[in-house]
Chain A
Amino acid sequence: MTAAIIVTVLVAGGVYLIAQRELLRVVLGFILLGHGVNVLIISAGGMYNRQPPLLGQQDRAAMADPLPQAFVLTAIVIAFAITVYLLALLKAGDQETGGDGGTRSDSDHDPAARDDPDRERTERAGGSARGEDR
């Protein structure tokens, strides 16, 4: 039950942030989504056995399933590598646009996004924010 609630919250938060314009929010959403899925995978092993799978130190019958743990461990490292890469993209976007243009995701440079009804508004909002900064 608790695992289910945690998954719900993390995934919902992650998806919400990924759907935003700013690349930083997308990166943070990606991190939260990763956590949510990792909790799901661990809970697939069963939440009734909670002893660490360290042989000789714990009760074998109460040990947690080691396989999902191994999956999640590597998943965390890979998610970390991708997160670092996404942050590098953020920085690359900064250098390209000169400053905090990169806070917004690349879709703003995208010709296909022109049809987007809230594009103009965001442009104005972005413009004023920049003006304020200066």
Chain B
Amino acid sequence: MLPLIVLGGSVLLALAAPLLARLSGRTAGYPLAAGLAALGVYANTSAGAIVDGDVLTASWDWMPALGVSFGLRMDGLSLLFVTIVLGVGALVMAYSARYMGDGYPVGTVYGLLTGFAAAMIGLVTANDLVLLYVFWELTTILSFLLINTAGPKAALPAGRALVVTATGGFALLGAVVMIGVAAGTTDLGVIVGSPEVVLASPLAVPAAALLILAAATKSAQLPFTFWLPGAMVAMTPISAYLHAATMVKAGVYLLMRFSPVYVPTTAWSMVLVPLGLLTAVVGAVLALREHDLKAILAQSTVSQLGLLTAAIGVGTSYALSAAVLHTFAHALFKATLFMLVGIIDKEAGSRDVRELGGLRKVMPVTATLTGIAALSMAGVPPLIGFVSKETLYEGFLEADFAPGAGPVAAVTAVIASALTFAYSARIVYGAFGGTLTQPDLYEPSTAFLAPAAVAAALGLALGLGVGVLNPLTDRATTDLYPGAEPATFALWHGVNAALLLSLVTFAAGYALFHWRDRVDALLQRLWVPDGSAVYDRIRTRVIEFGGLVGKPDVDPTPAAVLARPVLLLPVLAVVAGIGLPALPGYPGPAVQGLDWLVVVLVLATVAGAAVTRSVLAALTLTGFAGLATALWLLLAGAPDVAMTLLLVEVLTTVVAVLVLRGRGERLQRPARMRATPAALTALAAGLSLGTATYVLTGRRPPSEVGGYFLDTAQEATGGTNVVNTILVDFRGMDTFGEAVVVGAAALGLLVLLRRTSDESPGGTGDAGAPRRFARDGPADTVVMRVASRVLFPVMLALSLFLLWRGHDEPGGGFISSLVGGVAVLFLRLAHRGDAWALRLRPEPLVGTGLLISLLTGLAVYPLGLPFLAPVYLPGEVLLSSFIFDLGIYLMVVGLMVAAVDRISGRTRVGPVLARRDRAAPGGTTP
């Protein structure tokens, strides 16, 4: 339970943060700091048990079908990281309470910062790979949002940070999937508990490569270092927390977590050690080149993360415990330095060492604290940084993945550390040494200094008494190297190789500082590849490539758009045809005599519809092709589908005739340039689909799923018309979605064609001209009117009867609504202009239908039943599916009313299509 309470508590704090900020402004940082600190203390109440080897877990089913659980664990490594996240979090919150002044987005920053703390806790306590990935991405997103709080100038660097770290997230997802497949589980404890399972899989190597990629992006290793200095546009508390102490350690955590699996492999070391050490040296050189205090710290973070990566790569128990301790030490001194640099920036108005100077005279406390933290960073005794640096040296000396690797690694680390010493000195001397340039400054308030003072004091105290950390770091080390003999940390180890290396470091570092002007001149001449520029160039190229890919779709003609998918059909057919096995036979006779009649009818009508130039003939022949298809459906044993198609054909034809009134009766002869390729494409597509039908369909026994519906429909739903039970019961959600499409078409039509009260004749048509359809349809006659009075109620009753019996006999929502649609159409045509026929409005019909269907489906949720589970009235009368069908009925009738209303009535084009430059006639307002 403990990990869940820690995670849940931090989530609650994140939710409360914006409210607290609204109530008390920037001072909300104090209660938040207290909350985080309390959670940190609470987490450490378990330290005793965890040090003894307990792993506290909590787990709930999340995606049981995939074996993914919402599992949390708290072992030594997790507890160490949780302590860093909550401890530094508390300090940063308290610092923010004084850092942020007027004009800062206080609520946003506090909410995101505490939310980030929660995500980070989730990341380091996740016991499931998928969960770990989710929290990983959350930290990426929150980092992006936090950088963006700095305003418009942050947009570009924030975007870079997001893209780089999200690319790593994508790599992590790949690694998670691969490891999950290789291990057969996503349980982290099980995976690291039996590394041989993963290592035996061929996926082990690509998974490791992706893990390293993910860690390298998140922890800013080469060549992905550039996003981290860019992220420094964020305000200092954010930089201190995310981009120094916690988030950038996520990659380090990931590598540590998977150490039990990969440390035994040499390749792991051969990649990580050179990568880490190279990053360490490059970062340190770049840090020494900077003049901006914050930029020095950013490059320094890159460098220190490199040392950590390399130490993890060495993979001996000594190196791993050094990495664990240095993670802790770095979080402490780097957060301190960031907070102090923020104070200098606020007080002096600059972070540039060339402008600052002599501040020790006016800000002695700040100067002392900075000195302590910088000494820790430089690895000078008796601070914690000294102990961790010494252990790192010892660890590097143990590197044995290649002959001579140990000494080379240690010497490289010494070079990086000498540079570290030099830039540490530069920070302190640059700001506080030399002559005072701003004598009117004074020490900041105690409250502003306090968090940094606490962190600096801790760095000193834990250096002197580093022994107190031993139990936890031992446990963390054995967590990531089972059976290891972790290094026992002590301030004084006696005279050994590491101490000698430390002395060399100090001497070289001091030399670099002493000749700082020459060093600086040399470094400024250094050509440094600009990672951001490379990134920007790649980004521009990618966007250009996207434009190239999308170009054919910008302003294309309909035929050009459709040609591509249609032409893909024959290609697919040819590809599928290669290597096609011998075809199995049909389980029964697949052709009946009457089928050939349909073939003849379809052939004749489609050919006619394709070549005719008469509008009326094209319309009629298409309608007949539909009727022939309906006949085929009837022969195929689908009476419901056949009825639906018949009704649809009738309605389509009526609507089409309404549209075509008052238009030319002739279609153009297609230009030969268009007709020939169109015919060839059409033939290729038709033959492909026809061949596919012949080869791929019906050559198997009846499908299992079809049999399932036939066997269970009556029992499960009480209906005997299986097709309709599928529509309203088994797949009710789908049907609802489809009915919504119908409703959307109706609403689209209403928006497209606005009703107009202007009854003046529209268009340019001359009613008397020959070869045009009459404007007033033949329907508007006395006979029609009288007939409609009789027929309308009968048709309506028939449609309701079909609706009612749909569950057992052919009928149901769609068919009955189409019959109702015919009735409405008839009525509206016979009584055009008659007031009572106009009372049916499309909008309420569609809206009511949608609501009825939705509410019927949802009504059973409180009973714990799924969408549209059947509900019976007393006496076994099925209620819910009937009401659901009624809703669908109303939606389809709504479409019909909309169509008659707008297509036959006087309308004008809605604002969607109206163009300013085209003054349309007929009272159309532009």
Contact = CB atoms under 8 A, between A and B. Distances in A.
Interface of A: 1-22, 24-28, 31-32, 35-40, 42-57, 60, 63-67, 69-70, 72-74, 76-85, 87-92, 94-100, 102-107, 110-113, 116-118, 121-122, 125-126, 129-130, 133-134
Contact of A84 (B652, B705, B771, B915): B652
B769 A43 contact: no
Given A55-B710, A66-B726, A84-B655, A42 B674 contact: no
B625 A126 contact: no
A2 B726 CA distance: 27
A92 to B, nearest CB: 5
A91 to B, nearest CB: 5
Contact of B609 (A28, A39, A43, A88): A28
A54 B697 contact: no
Contacts of B625: 10, 13, 32, 35
Contact of A66 (B682, B723, B742): B723
- Grouping DSSP codes into helix (H, G, I), strand (E, B) and loop, the A interface class, with mixed when no group exceeds half, is helix
B691 interface: yes
Contacts of A18: 558-559, 562
Q: Which of A49, A69, A94, A134 has the most CB of B within 10 A?
A: A69
A94 B638 CA distance: 38
Contacts of B683: 12
Interface residues of B, number: 138
A87 B659 contact: yes
B899 A84 contact: yes
Q: Which of B720, B723, B910 has the most CB of A within 10 A?
A: B723
A8 B689 contact: yes
Interface string B751-787: 0110000000011111001011000000000000000
Nearest to A28: B622
A50 B664 contact: no
A79 B405 CA distance: 70
B887 to A, nearest CB: 14
Interface of B: 554-559, 562-563, 566, 586-592, 595-596, 598-599, 602-603, 606-607, 609-610, 615, 618-619, 622, 625-626, 629, 632-633, 635-641, 644-645, 648, 651-652, 655-656, 659-660, 663-664, 666-671, 673-674, 677-679, 681-683, 685-687, 689-694, 696-698, 700-703, 705-706, 709-710, 713-714, 720-723, 726-727, 731, 734-735, 738, 741-742, 744-746, 748-749, 752-753, 762-766, 769, 771-772, 808-810, 814, 818, 892, 895, 899, 902-903, 907-910, 913-915, 918, 920-922, 924
A13 B185 CA distance: 53
A98 B764 contact: yes
B637 A53 contact: yes
Contact of B671 (A44, A89, A112, A121): A121
The 4 closest A-B pairs by CB, nearest first: A12-B686, A8-B690, A48-B588, A64-B637
A110 B690 contact: no
B129 to A, nearest CB: 37
Contact of A112 (B555, B590, B814): B555
B689 A11 contact: yes
Given A6-B602, A76-B644, A91-B659, A31 B673 contact: no
Contact of A99 (B710, B722, B731, B763): B763
B645 A76 contact: yes
Given A47-B698, A64-B638, A74-B814, A4 B691 contact: yes
Q: Which of B689, B753, B909 has the most CB of A within 10 A?
A: B689
Contacts of B645: 35, 38, 76
B763 A56 contact: no
8 contacts: A3-B595, A9-B602, A39-B693, A66-B722, A81-B745, A88-B902, A92-B753, A112-B555
A48 B635 CA distance: 11
A103 B638 contact: no
A50 B692 CA distance: 21
Contact of B713 (A55, A69, A97, A100): A55
Contacts of B618: 24-25, 28
- Grouping DSSP codes into helix (H, G, I), strand (E, B) and loop, the B interface class, with mixed when no group exceeds half, is helix
Given A72-B641, A129-B664, A85 B748 contact: yes
A112 B553 CA distance: 11
A50 to B, nearest CB: 4
Given A13-B607, A48-B698, 13 more contacts: A9-B686, A9-B690, A10-B602, A16-B678, A35-B626, A46-B590, A54-B722, A56-B720, A76-B648, A84-B652, A87-B659, A99-B763, A107-B557
B674 A40 contact: no
Contacts of B587: 46, 48
B671 A118 contact: yes
A91 B660 CA distance: 8
B591 A2 contact: yes
Contact of A85 (B644, B727, B745, B922): B745
A60 B602 CA distance: 31
Contact of A74 (B554, B678, B722, B738): B738
Contacts of A27: 656
Given A40-B693, A53-B637, A113-B557, A11 B668 contact: no
Contacts of B629: 6, 10, 35, 38-39
A69 B748 contact: no
Contacts of B626: 31, 35
Given A43-B698, A51-B637, A83-B652, A67 B682 contact: no
B484 to A, nearest CB: 59
Given A45-B703, A55-B714, A81-B895, A17 B609 contact: yes
Contacts of A36: 686, 689
Contacts of A122: 668, 671
Contacts of A4: 690-691, 693-694
A1 B694 contact: yes
A58 to B, nearest CB: 8
A130 B640 CA distance: 44
Contacts of A57: 720
Given A84-B652, A134-B766, A44 B697 contact: yes
A84 B846 CA distance: 15
A76 to B, nearest CB: 5
A78 B741 contact: yes
Nearest to A15: B682
Contacts of A90: 659
B687 A8 contact: yes
B682 A77 contact: no
A16 B663 contact: no
A98 B763 contact: yes
A52 to B, nearest CB: 5
Contacts of A9: 599, 602-603, 606-607, 686, 690
Given A17-B609, A67-B726, A94 B632 contact: no
A82 B743 CA distance: 11
Q: Which of B766, B899, B910 has the most CB of A within 10 A?
A: B899
B606 A52 contact: no
B609 A118 contact: no
Contacts of B655: 83-84, 87
Contacts of A110: 555, 557
